[in-house]
Structure formats: structure tokens, C-alpha cells
Amino acid sequence: MREFHYRIGWRVYGHRPGFHRSAGAGPGIEFHGHAALFDLPDARKLDLHATLRDPFGLWQVRVHRQRASIPVILLADLSASMGALTGGAASKMRVLADFTASLAYSAHRTGDAFGFIGCDEVMRDDYRLPFTRVRGAGIALAEKLRALQPSGRTAGALLDAAVALTERRSLVFLASDFHFPLVLLEQVLHALARHEVVPVVIWDKAELQPVTRFGLASIRDSETGGRRTLLLRKKLRERINEAYAARRAALSAAFIQHAVRPVYFSGDFDEDQMTAHFHGALAPTA
């Protein structure tokens, strides 16, 4: 498990010291402006040049901006679709667990509080982590996630969780396979408009790459239980790939409408890809 580095694009309004730039004054390196010594009686910060320039001859002190911490929260989709096709080498729940552990560790290293809300049809109390700065919280949670065989029939509680996040402006990771209607996605993104949202799209490569053998496959929807029989052949495989490409395009379009840039994983979780998303010149997006 390695750390990845994230950053945010706004000034935090918060007084808890941390890594991120804030709007509040305080001990820091970033210069904000000058104030009269009477207003900010800290003689260590006297600025003689500024005092000389002051037309009223008042003693001037330098005011700096404090760096602050932010809450980082992971909204995770725990519906049954996340657990289907677990035969794959990189199943989605494993990627989610890896990501959770890495994010919790990264948040701790960055000095931010980390919270987790697991959602299927309801917000799962047993998969909920209130904001915490405890160092090992993510590891325990990741272990729990690894053992979980999700069974929720929808991911509808994502909207409840999004609505419930009325606290301070946060960095919100939205981890899911996004196998739910775009309408729900619109609602969730709308509810999260106040926060900085990073959708993490987790797909299992196996989903779009069925066996290359010609044959009949009887498949069941992991969430609705609906049945289908597919005559797997070259043409159908191509159409499945096309369907996934079209889905990815539709998701990207929805994200762009909400000024959100997604991260796609269709294999193992990769910390460097996350870092590149925040710090890279142009992280690979759709």
C-alpha cells in the first residue's frame, strides 16, 4: 500500500491546520498582506519596509495564511454489481478495498480526516466510518471490504449519502462501477455540487471480455435477477465492447456537465494513476 497525493482547487475555510491552502490568516508561509501592529500584536512579524512606506507611520506586521486540513470522504457503491464476476483477477471489490486503504493512508499522511460511507439500497451502518484521523482505520475497513460479498439490489443510497454530506466542503471520492441509471448519477452529482468530487469508475476487465469460446452463456443480472441467454460469438463480443465504450462516453459526458473529472480503473488499483489525476498535466480521461 502506497500513498498517493491529492490536492484541491479551492481555499479552505477552516481553522484546523493542515496541508491545504486556506482563506484564513494564521501561521504560515504564504503572504497575505499587512496589518497594523495594534490589530495583530505580534512583534516577531514586524515588517520594517512596510512600516517605512506607511503614510500614517503605523507599525506594520506581515499577515500570513494558514494551511488547513479538509475532510476527505469516500462514498462507495456496495451494490451487488460490485461483487459480480469475482472470478476475475482484479475484481471490483478488491480494487475498492485497495483504493480505500490507500486513500485512508494518504489522508492520514496529508493530515486530513477520512470518512467512508458504504451504500447499497441503504447507507450501510456497518460500512460507515465517521471522519477520523486514526491511522489504521482504513486498513481495518479495507479488510472488511475484501471479505464482503455485496448483495444490494440498487445503489440508490448514494443519493442519500450525498444529500447527507452537508458538513464542510470536502473532497468527495465517488467509487462505483456506475452500473446504475444516469438519472441517479445526475442527482448524486447535483447533490454533491458543493464539494470537490472525484468519480472513481471501477470496472472489471472481465465484464467486457467474455471467454473467446463460441457457445451459450446463461447470465443473470446480479441486482435485478433478470435472466438472459447469450450466444457468444465474435459479433456479439464486438457489440459488448462497443456497448461499454458507449457507456464510458455517456458517463464522461455526464461528469463533464458537472465539471468533474473521473478516474477509470479497469484493472488493479494504481496509486500513481491517482496522483497523476491530481498533479499530472493531463491525466488520462475519456
Q: Are the beta carbons of 59 and 172 closer than 8 angstroms? A: no
Min separation Cβ 134 and other proteins, Å: 33
What does the H/E/C string look like for 96-158? HHHHHHHHHHHHHHHCCEEEEEEECCCEEEEEEEEEECCCCHHHHHHHHHHHCCCCECCCCHH
For other proteins, give the closer residue by CB, 49 or 235.
235
Q: Are the beta carbons of 105 and 138 closer than 8 angstroms? A: yes
Q: Are the beta carbons of 263 and 198 closer than 8 angstroms? A: yes
Inter-CA distances, 238 with 47, 195, 202, 219, 234, Å:
69, 38, 21, 18, 6
Min separation Cβ 80 and other proteins, Å: 8
Q: Which residues contact 61 (CB under 8 A, 6 or more apart)?
A: 34, 35, 36, 37, 40, 42, 43, 45, 46, 47
For other proteins, give the closer residue by CB, 12 or 84.
84
For other proteins, give the closer residue by CB, 115 or 156.
156
Min separation Cβ 12 and other proteins, Å: 37
For other proteins, give the closer residue by CB, 65 or 92.
92
Min separation Cβ 184 and other proteins, Å: 13
Cα–Cα distance for residue pair 3/105, rounded to 1 Å: 6
Min separation Cβ 181 and other proteins, Å: 8
Binding site for other proteins (CB under 8 A): 81-82, 84-85, 87-88, 92, 177, 179, 204, 206-207, 209-211, 213-224, 226-232, 236, 239-240, 242-244, 247
Q: Which of 77, 81, 82, 220 is nearest to 156 (CA)?
A: 77
Min separation Cβ 254 and other proteins, Å: 15
Place of cell 471522519: 131
For other proteins, give the closer residue by CB, 166 or 212.
212
Cell digits of residue 238? 464486438
Q: Are the beta carbons of 52 and 102 closer than 8 angstroms? A: no
Min separation Cβ 142 and other proteins, Å: 21
For other proteins, give the closer residue by CB, 16 or 247.
247
For other proteins, give the closer residue by CB, 164 or 243.
243
